[in-house]
Structure 1
């Protein structure tokens, strides 16, 4: 098993570099206290996290609406792309068009290479977004996809938030939502990796629009 999620740290990048994650030490053994006790201050959309339908719809689903089996994925479609486009569309649609047995897949993971520049400012300032048309295509031809995951910090490019808002709305439409798994750590996998299973383990927070996650992947020996 490997992790496909990042650990939360105080230098964790955030969308637009706002709402940073930080830890407040309430008591400290080093300072003579009996125990270490910390509080965390954060947005729900930090690190590897899910966007829930409630993020864009007042009547949208939250974590309570999904049973435990929802978070286990046995049929994962994973591929890498290279593009200079700030809004990714054609590269993904062309690959999806060629996929056979489209109805069997439960999760789509796309590696753009952004995970390799996560410590740089351009990771959050010039991040690549995804076209709303990808949501439309997935819902039409991949009816069992439940989560779309990727290594960009958001489905919305920070430099084109109008398209980003529409992408959120199309993916998260409560009538047939595809949850968005943003800021995945995909450094350990590549086009030759065979992913056998993925488990997404979100924080179970009531009435919350975003959920930080730990993501586990079972990968098969490439030999």
Structure 2
């Protein structure tokens, strides 16, 4: 089993470089305290995380709406693409249009951005996805409930208007496809065969984003 999510640290990038993950040690053994005890300060939209419908809809679902089985997947559709622009549309829709639905429950898209996560362009010139991807995805693959990818957000920082509409489309409470952003897909590719896939969310009530650990068995 491998991790497909990143650890969190002070260097974790955030969308538009707006936020930082902070950890502060309140007591330290090296300072004579009995134990180490730390606090963290963070947005929930940093590192590998799920966007919940509540992120863009006041009546949208939060973590309490989903049972444990929701986060276990058995039929993964994995695609590698070469983005043609910062907002990915036709190059992904073309691939989706050629694939027969085999009961897929999770879509993963690798753009290659994960290889450049340490660079400023990862958050300042990030790939996003066009809202029309949602339309094709839900029409052709109605069982897919999560869309994961190796970019920092479904919204390109260079086209936030389209990005906001993409969020609204995917997170529509009537038929949401949860967004699993900022995945670590460096060690998987189109030849990978997934035999198990688990998203382990931090179960924060009434919250719009959920930090996650993602694990998979790949052969």
- Pairwise TM-score range, normalised by the shorter structure: over 0.9
1:89 alignment partner in structure 2: 89
Contact 1:103/1:141 (8 A) holds in 2: no
Please, what TM-score do these two structures have when normalized by structure 2? 0.99
**What CA distance in whole angstroms lies between the structure 2 residues aligned with 1:103 and 1:112?**
23
SS in 2 for 1:104: coil
Quote the RMSD (CA, aligned, Å). 0.7
**What CA distance in whole angstroms lies between the structure 2 residues aligned with 1:152 and 1:122?**
11
**What CA distance in whole angstroms lies between the structure 2 residues aligned with 1:86 and 1:185?**
19
- 1:164 correspondence with 2:163: yes
**What CA distance in whole angstroms lies between the structure 2 residues aligned with 1:178 and 1:217?**
20
- 1:67 correspondence with 2:67: yes
- 1:37 correspondence with 2:37: yes
**What CA distance in whole angstroms lies between the structure 2 residues aligned with 1:83 and 1:42?**
30
Contact 1:54/1:208 (8 A) holds in 2: yes
Query: CA-to-partner distance for each residue in 1:53-81, whole Å, 9 max, x for gaps?
Result: 00000000000000110000000000111
Aligned residues: 219
Contact 1:14/1:46 (8 A) holds in 2: yes
1:111 alignment partner in structure 2: 110
**What CA distance in whole angstroms lies between the structure 2 residues aligned with 1:21 and 1:212?**
12
Deviation at 1:18, TM superposition (A): 1.3
Structure 2 runs not aligned, ≥5 long: none
Deviation at 1:103, TM superposition (A): 5.3
**What CA distance in whole angstroms lies between the structure 1 residues aligned with 2:188 and 2:44?**
26
**What CA distance in whole angstroms lies between the structure 1 residues aligned with 2:36 and 2:180?**
32
**What CA distance in whole angstroms lies between the structure 2 residues aligned with 1:80 and 1:138?**
16
Contact 2:103/2:143 (8 A) holds in 1: yes
Structure 1 consecutive aligned stretches of length 4 or more whose deviation exceeds 4 Å: none
Contact 1:103/1:144 (8 A) holds in 2: no
Contact 1:103/1:143 (8 A) holds in 2: no
Contact 1:80/1:190 (8 A) holds in 2: yes
1:19 alignment partner in structure 2: 19
- 1:5 correspondence with 2:20: no
